[in-house]
Each structure stands twice: as structure tokens, then as C-alpha cells.
Amino acid sequence: MSRRPSTRPTARPDGEPDSVFTAHDVADVLATVPTMFGFRPAESFVAIATYGPRRRFGFSLRLDLPDLDQADAAADVAVQHLRRQGADGAILLGISEDHERAEAVVRAGLARLEPDITPVVVAWADGQRYWEPLPRFPRRGVRYEAPAHHEAVVRAVAAGQEVLADREQLVARFAGCTGAVLDTMADATEAELDRILRLFGENPTDSTLVGAAMSELDPILDRALHEQERLHDREVAVISLWCASVMVRDELMSRINRDTARDWLRVLTDVSGRVVAPFVPSVLCLAGFAAYLTGDGAQAVIALERSLKADPQHRLSLLLMQLIQGGVSPEQYEAMGEMTIVEAQKDRAERERTLRLLRERSA
């Protein structure tokens, strides 16, 4: 089964949000879905947790629409996440031009909900019509519209959210540089690597390395985070190189929390677009972590996918992906405190591998 999950891991809502949109019917729910993932999902199976008597939306998950023989497996994944999030109710949607596949996975999910999770909305749609598993439901479905100016989307955009046309536009946001930009960044990175190695050698002590790194990074990051200035190529190269040190990456990661994550995501997305090999994994895993703490599982997964494409064994990226796929919310993550993911950051083997990559790059 293709399992490219995009999740919006949020905790159960405790208070009234600043701006509330009420979905009145299936068409409203379908129009609201893009605001949950930041793009308009296609060929997707969507599961959304609801809480309380007012059916407030919470955790949401999107899976690539599975083949017919994998519908049960996809339904198992989605419902396990809903249960783990303590969902009172669930919205299950299949979105595809292939009615048979969409219906199969939705019905498989519905069969697994009761009695512990109440089905709130269960439907499959092709972008123009939707169907529900109800007796005597029209065979041709019910026509609906989900325009870009729907109230749910307008409210989300007014609140500062960006809603893209599809997932590929979101992927492009974290794509690597090419052409002349790649050549420029490769030269800038090479020059900065030579400078750093001349100053500190290949085996600096932990305290020396982190202190030296932060003395260079703090002015750059302060300006980028607080004054929202776009980074120069040299500054991107400096960040990329220092992030390759596990010790420095740990220090930066410790500064990213739910209050600062949105600013960090903006800066790290910029760096992600210009980082060059072999320094991609450390930058992209930090970008994925920042996206995760904002509650944007879709962006987190895309960033981590690029990290793991560059290095399939990158320990931190693998652990972060497990958190997201396991449906662990940012609130739950912060409540864990010192956990195994932090221990993995200190893994000696990964430090040695980082130094080896640096030596290979400078050779």
C-alpha cells in the first residue's frame, strides 16, 4: 500500500477558537478539507477526529488512496490513529475519480469505527458529486461545489493559512535547487567548509564546536527569525554546514518549540531550497520538526521524505516520521520531556558518520 500520510496532529480542543466555521453538510466538510492540510487533496483517503457534542475537528490524516486489495490495511491505519487520539467521532472521506476504490476504503473504515467511535460524516466524492453509504442514496450521487472562495477557505486564508492547489505544490516548496542556483550554492558551501575546517580542524571538542557554531549562527538566525530578512547564499551555506554537526543540530532543535516553530519553519524552508548534498538530511529534518510543531503534518512529512531520500538511515528523520505516522500530537510530544528521540540525537555512531561526510566533502 502506498502510505504517504499527511497528518494534522492536534490535541483535543479545549476552548473556543478565535474564528469558528460550522460545516452544515457533506459539501461544507469537503470544502473544509483543504484548510486542514494546506492543499487540495486528490486520490486520497481522509480521516478526521471529532470531539464533544459539537463535533469539533481535531486530528486529521490523509493517505494516498489505496488499491482495492489494500483498502482494509488503509482503514486499519486510519482508525488506529483515531483511537490513539481519543476521538469521540470520525469523518471518513474518499476523494477520487475512481468511485470503486474510494467507496471500498471508506466502507472499510466505517466497519472499523463502531461502537467506540461514532461516524459523523462518511462519504466519497469525485470533485463534482458525492455519495454516502445510506439506503436509497441516489446512484448518480449529489452534486456539490467546493470553490476556492468557500467560507471555510476564506476564513483560513484570512487567518494567515496558505491553501495550495495540490500536494505537488507543497512538495515543490521543499525541493532542492538546480541549475545556476545549485552551482552558486555548491561554490558557497565549498568555500565555507574550507574556512570552517581551517579554523577548527576535523576533531574539535564538543564545547568548542557548539560555542563556535552559535557565535556564527546567532546573528544570522536572529535577523532571519525576528527581522524576517531573507538569507544570503553564504548564510545558507553556513547554516547548512553547522547543522551537519549532530551537536549543533541538537542545540538548534532545542530552540524550536510550539511558540517559535512557525518562524523557524519559514527560515528552514528557505534554507531547504538552497542546501546542497551531503548536508540535506540535517536541514530537512529540522524543517520537518518545525513543521510538526506547528501542527502541519503535511509539510513535516514532505520535508522528512526529502531528508530520507538523501539518507535513508538518517536516525532523527526516521524517529520524527515515526512520531507523525504514530499520530503523536505536538502537545503530546512536548509532554514527553526527555525521551528516546533525544537519546538518539546523542548517538555516537551518528556523530562519527557526520564527521566522515565532512571529510569526504572536503577531500
* Structural domains in the chain plus CATH codes: 6-164 (3.40.140), 174-362 (no CATH)
Query: According to the model, what pLDDT value does residue 108 have?
Result: 95
- Assess contact for 305 and 272: CB atoms under 8 A: no
| Chain mean pLDDT for the chain | 80
Other Cβ atoms less than 10 A from the Cβ of 227: the count is 7
Owner of C-alpha cell 504514530: 326
pLDDT at 54 over 50: yes
Q: What count of other Cβ atoms lies within 10 Å of the Cβ of residue 92? A: 28
pLDDT of residue 203: 56
Least confident of 15-24, 92-101, 244-253, 319-328: 15-24
Q: What is the dihedral of CA 191, 196, 202, 207, to 10 degrees?
A: -160
Q: Is this prediction's pTM over 0.95?
A: no
What DSSP designation does 39 have? B
Whether the Cβ atoms of residue 91 and residue 46 lie closer than 8 Å to each other: yes
| pLDDT at residue 2 in the model | 36
% residues pLDDT > 90 (the chain): 42
